[in-house]
Structure 1
Amino acid sequence: MSYSKTIDYIYNLQKHGIKFGLNNIIRLVSILGNPHKAFYSVHVAGTNGKGSTSAIIASILKAAGFNVGLFTSPHIVSFTERIRVNGKEISEDDIIILTEEIREKIISINSFDTDFSPTFFEVVTAMAFLYFQRKGIDIAVIEVGMGGRLDATNILTPEISVITNVDFDHLEFLGRTLKEIAYEKAGIIKEGIPVVVSSQDPEVLKVIEAKAKERNSEVYLYDRDFSAVLRRNDPSGVCFDYFDDSFIIHDLYLSLAGEHQMRNASVAIKAVELLSKKITPNFEPLTPNFIREGLRDVKWPGRLEMIHGEPPILIDGAHNPSAAKVLSDAINKHYLGIYKRIILILGVMDDKDIEGIMRHLLPIAYEIILTSPNYDRAAKPAKLAAIAASLGFRNVKIVFSLKDAIEMAVKIAKCGMLNSKCEMWSTEDETIPKSEICNPKSLILITGSFYTIGEAKEALGYKGVLTRLRE
């Protein structure tokens, strides 16, 4: 199969929907030889920050000399982003080879059991495990797809479990209360395996600690067992001091922006420290220099990521109220001092807490452009406008395509809305001299969903496969 046909096959597996339970994935990896048993692993669950935390853990381990696999979701532009070894994305050729191998195994089972129908995420998870085995990695950092307890990744028996911030998301699958959602996340805790936990709502922490006690697992909690003190926070990254019983490290620099990333980095450091103690006989001990190098080198797209210079465009995958609040706080603290006006492009999935997201993001915007990425789960711009109006924001612009929304935002950023000459400007018109640009201090912010920011990157020239991206 060609790469495009391979990707079509993988995405067509979405017709099987989302199936919670481990029977399919256990059977699938079994016929592949249980590749997930060939390497150490760190398993990361949570609502917000689990992707960033996974990337930071992988970066520190790479700096320490480990051969590291990283499995995350969703991708932003290219499917290959989901599976990486030592920071390098899986090749399209490897995806073709692995997919065909897995497809043939499924067909062989279907010859006598037509009910065996692995889902999109189960197949991609199996692909990652098989790829990591073939690459001979030492450690894999595996991000949960959704929830934890019944997620396909939960067949792992990791060396360390990690639970980042838990909040409301995927309510139709995980439950309507924080307690129910926390129960699903805590389902990754395994017998006797330490669990590193980020800052949590007391109700969430109670659930996690109860599950850890049941599983005889020690809990290491941020701001209780380890902590950090912020030294500097600006759009380029954060500088902080890290403290725990093992060591104190001053002036750590993380190349990801936002105070929340300091917490994610601290959780990552603690996880790597505990991991190093468990596997030290086989590998070189962890040192502060490895931590410094790993934090400095980490890259994680789609989180306060500046992707365009003139006019500046910032993207962030915030897709629930707590992530929107973190984004709003970062904009207020670090960007409104640089840029006088925020031009917000917002596209949100229909099944998300749209009102909760808007409550945090609309007040920071000078102009609000409501749009919809090309995906069937996306909320219609008219629905977004109605919710915005109910919150008191009636002066919004509705644009039906993301590409057109970006063009409108660029026009506003470069020209402003009050200058009649600028009203005629378009992104294809280079006739207006720079001296007539009347608002050079605007920032375009694109957010609301990974679908939205992924399609935005594609519209701005990033090559990728965006169709039917699964959040």
Structure 2
Amino acid sequence: MSKLHDDVLMHSYQEAVDWINGLIPFGIRPGLERIEQLLDALENPHRRLRFIHVAGTNGKGSVCSYLTHVLIKGGYDVGTFTSPYITKFTNRMQYNGQDIEEETLLQLANKVRPLVEEMARTELGSPTMFEVTVLIAILYYATVTYPDYVVWETGLGGRLDVTNIVHPVVSVITNIGHDHMDRLGDTIEAITAEKAGIIKPGTPVIAGVTQPEAIQVITNTAREKKSTLYLYQQQFDQMPLYVDEQEQQFRFEGMFRNLEDVTITMKGAHQRQNAAVALMTIEVLRQYYALVIEDEDLLEGMKMTTWPGRLEQISDQPRLLIDGAHNPEGAEVLVDSLTSTFKYEKLHLVMGMIENKNHRDTLKHILTIADTLILTEPNYRSAKDAEQLRAVVEDIGHELGLQASPNVIVEKDWKKALALLLKITEPSDLAVVTGTLYLIGDVRSYMLHNKDAEKGW
């Protein structure tokens, strides 16, 4: 492997992150050829690791968090790879719940940079930012931390996603929705086919999908790969016992056994489904790989699970929730959760989105419950113009003939939009910031005074 000369050796964490982010202009280029060659040059370190591969439209991060907390509580060492990040680049790669150390990231970036620059001079072109991030993550787990399991979240899709370079011990598909349709296809079947691409021959699959057409695609793929499939509401399910604003409890019903009184603090009915998917994954690991976790630790791990930016309450006075509902399914879940779990007189929302999203169908859900809707713009290169969003809102209002349309305000500066939101929210009201995770991340860091915050991708 070629060495870096001292004049191009990176000397700080920030320099390393700047170099990785400097690869963003190379875009998202589906395919595994570049990552295969890079890993081959490093003697395929990923083959020494046990991966739990998680794909899906929404819920991936929550399922990864449930799995991570339960496995750690059960005494296992766990690597967790997720994206995008809410606060800092190092959030992407965690070991036992702690971010990769800045110095370690710098060392690994210096190790892979010669390979990356060498490939950039070939007909394959430069590896992308995400490919390099995946490469560094694999090296971190395979050569630095050596976890028992790596909880491994896809970036985009599944079949051609860079993370699909691994052969996992189990594959998980959380759910399917209308997101990234410009890349994955414009039907549920097409999107499901891409997500189902993570299913490997003979490897068990846990799926939380509910649409008949999605179930059909996953069932057929599992059959072709001779993989045992465990489907939500067929081989496993959850029955709610009670729900309030602080926690919810349910009974888990699985093929191998049932679990009574599972308590979670993550909010919304969708989190019971995500929790059930995670529990079934743990049960499959028990059956196939002799995973041993005491029930007491299992239940405690579920209860202590949190995931930033998902119906997360970050202020009590006034009550302020943040939720990254950036697609129609996410918005539908948000609306359902707010109406079924929370009590309030008026609901005031701030919303910002990026360009390549289904703005119309996302806003259709939001408009049904908002008393005030403040449209803003995330501090991000492809932010959707707030005035254009207002035009979409007005169009939807005419189309639906809404009797009680929300008070719509445009404030392009997100900090001013947030200040207005906090000002108009009375003690009996509820405030919500939603939309793209780029906005959610900034608001969260700003409200919690996090000085380490970086711009997410």
Query: For residue 208 of structure 2, what is the aligned residue in structure 1?
Result: 198
Change (3 A) 1:329 1:39: same
The answer to whether the aligner puts 1:355 opposite 2:343 as a matched pair is no
Which piece of structure 1 moves more, 394-403 or 188-197? 394-403
Local SS of the residue matching 1:406: helix
Structure 1 residue corresponding to 2:442, chosen from 455, 461, 468: 455
Instruction: Report if aligned partners of 2:119, 2:126 keep a CA contact under 8 Å in 1.
Output: no
Instruction: Report if aligned partners of 2:173, 2:209 keep a CA contact under 8 Å in 1.
Output: no
For 1:287 and 1:206, the matched residues in 2 are separated by 35
Query: For residue 218 of structure 2, what is the aligned residue in structure 1?
Result: 208
The answer to whether the aligner puts 1:17 opposite 2:7 as a matched pair is no
Query: For residue 391 of structure 2, what is the aligned residue in structure 1?
Result: 386
Residues 261-294 of structure 1, C-alpha deviation per residue, up to 9 Å, x if partnerless? 11111111111111122222xx6x2332232021
How many residues align? The count is 438
For 1:342 and 1:98, the matched residues in 2 are separated by 47
The answer to whether the aligner puts 1:122 opposite 2:135 as a matched pair is no
User: Once the 2 structures are TM-superposed, how far is the Cα of residue 108 of structure 1 from its aligned partner?
Assistant: 4.4
For 2:334 and 2:122, the matched residues in 1 are separated by 48
Structure 1 residue corresponding to 2:162, chosen from 138, 142, 152: 152
List aligned pairs for 1:413-432, cutoff 5 A: 413=425
Structure 1 residue corresponding to 2:428, chosen from 441, 447, 460: 441
Structure 1 residue corresponding to 2:411, chosen from 399, 413, 433: 399
Local SS of the residue matching 1:224: coil
Instruction: Report if aligned partners of 1:148, 1:187 keep a CA contact under 8 Å in 2.
Output: yes
Residues 107-136 of structure 1, C-alpha deviation per residue, up to 9 Å, x if partnerless? 3455x6364411111111111111112101
Query: For residue 249 of structure 2, what is the aligned residue in structure 1?
Result: 239
Instruction: Report if aligned partners of 1:76, 1:451 keep a CA contact under 8 Å in 2.
Output: yes
Matched AA of 2:443: A
The answer to whether the aligner puts 1:340 opposite 2:349 as a matched pair is no
Local SS of the residue matching 1:344: strand
Change (3 A) 1:394 1:265: closer
Query: For residue 132 of structure 1, what is the aligned residue in structure 2?
Result: 141
Query: For residue 301 of structure 1, what is the aligned residue in structure 2?
Result: 308
Q: Which runs of 5+ in 2 are unaligned?
A: 1-10, 398-404
Query: For residue 422 of structure 2, what is the aligned residue in structure 1?
Result: 410
Query: For residue 423 of structure 1, what is the aligned residue in structure 2?
Result: none
Which piece of structure 1 moves more, 168-177 or 99-108? 99-108
For 1:163 and 1:19, the matched residues in 2 are separated by 22
Instruction: Report if aligned partners of 1:237, 1:258 keep a CA contact under 8 Å in 2.
Output: no
List aligned pairs for 1:69-148, cutoff 5 A: 69-110=79-120, 113=122, 115-133=124-142, 134-148=144-158
Matched AA of 1:441: S
The answer to whether the aligner puts 1:56 opposite 2:66 as a matched pair is yes
Local SS of the residue matching 1:391: helix
Which piece of structure 1 moves more, 303-312 or 163-172? 303-312
For 1:80 and 1:386, the matched residues in 2 are separated by 38
Query: For residue 276 of structure 2, what is the aligned residue in structure 1?
Result: 266
Which piece of structure 1 moves more, 388-397 or 229-238? 388-397
User: Once the 2 structures are TM-superposed, how far is the Cα of residue 394 of structure 1 from its aligned partner?
Assistant: 7.1
Structure 2 residue corresponding to 1:318, chosen from 321, 325, 344: 325
Matched AA of 1:77: T
User: Once the 2 structures are TM-superposed, how far is the Cα of residue 171 of structure 1 from its aligned partner?
Assistant: 0.6
User: Once the 2 structures are TM-superposed, how far is the Cα of residue 390 of structure 1 from its aligned partner?
Assistant: 1.1
User: Once the 2 structures are TM-superposed, how far is the Cα of residue 465 of structure 1 from its aligned partner?
Assistant: 4.2
Residues 232-281 of structure 1, C-alpha deviation per residue, up to 9 Å, x if partnerless? 2222232111111322111111121111111111111111111122222x
Residues 179-198 of structure 1, C-alpha deviation per residue, up to 9 Å, x if partnerless? 11011001000001110011
Q: Which runs of 5+ in 1 are unaligned?
A: 414-438
Instruction: Report if aligned partners of 2:207, 2:232 keep a CA contact under 8 Å in 1.
Output: yes
Matched AA of 2:411: V
User: Once the 2 structures are TM-superposed, how far is the Cα of residue 35 of structure 1 from its aligned partner?
Assistant: 2.1
Query: For residue 289 of structure 1, what is the aligned residue in structure 2?
Result: 296
Query: For residue 186 of structure 1, what is the aligned residue in structure 2?
Result: 196
For 2:54 and 2:376, the matched residues in 1 are separated by 32
Instruction: Report if aligned partners of 1:370, 1:399 keep a CA contact under 8 Å in 2.
Output: yes
TM-score (norm 1): 0.90
**Cα RMSD after superposing both structures:** 1.5
Matched AA of 1:358: L
For 1:270 and 1:363, the matched residues in 2 are separated by 34
TM-score (norm 2): 0.93
Query: For residue 234 of structure 2, what is the aligned residue in structure 1?
Result: 224
